[in-house]
């Protein structure tokens, strides 16, 4: 029995692959998307319990996805872990403003990511709607 269903979104196939492997080995079901538009489609279809979301993607970026999900009552409270190589404070502020539950900087410690996922799912943490 899987511990939960997680959507991993990144435009780098290798990032998607490594994170998926890591999460699967920790007992989660994983679905993936390679861009923002696909991500929203997968969310609507698969209803994941949590989303690991890259910020900088071509087309609809992570902030766009978060904003789109926030608009729908069914997805507004799905926790999101933002994953990004950017460390600028403005990105951080936008992410928190968009309702990020957690913000993980690349390169990340795998334990850190898995712990964040576990904690968010266990505490039933809700993304705060603005």
Which residues in the chain belong to E strands, given as ranges? 5-9, 29-33, 50-54, 80-84, 102-105
When the beta carbons of 89 and 124 are compared against other proteins, the nearer one is: 89
Asked if 110 is part of the footprint of other proteins (rule: CB under 8 A), the reply reads yes
One character per residue 47-86, x = contact with other proteins (rule: CB under 8 A): ---------x----------------------------xx
Asked if 88 is part of the footprint of other proteins (rule: CB under 8 A), the reply reads yes
Listed residue (20, 3, 37) closest to 83, CA to CA:
20
Asked if 2 is part of the footprint of other proteins (rule: CB under 8 A), the reply reads no
Applying CB under 8 A, among 3, 5, 15, 76 the residue interacting with other proteins is 15
Applying CB under 8 A, among 1, 45, 71, 89 the residue interacting with other proteins is 89
When the beta carbons of 47 and 56 are compared against other proteins, the nearer one is: 56
Distance (Å, rounded) from C-alpha 11 to C-alpha 122? 28
| Contact present, 99 and 106 (Cβ < 8 Å) | no
Q: From the centroid of its chain, how far is CA 70? A: 13
């Amino acid at each position: 029995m899987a511990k939960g269903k997680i959507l991993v979104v990144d435009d780098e196939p290798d990032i998607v692959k490594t994170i998926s492997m890591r999460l699967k080995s920790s007992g989660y079901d994983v679905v993936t998307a390679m861009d923002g538009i696909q991500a929203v489609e997968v969310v609507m279809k698969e209803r994941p319990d949590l989303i690991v979301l890259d910020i900088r993607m071509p087309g609809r970026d992570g902030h766009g996805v978060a904003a789109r999900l926030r608009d729908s009552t069914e997805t507004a409270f799905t926790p999101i872990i933002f994953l990004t190589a950017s460390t600028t404070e403005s990105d951080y502020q936008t992410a928190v403003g968009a309702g990020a539950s957690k913000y993980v900087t690349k390169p990340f410690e795998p334990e850190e990511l898995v712990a964040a996922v576990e904690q968010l799912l266990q505490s039933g943490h809700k993304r705060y709607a603005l």
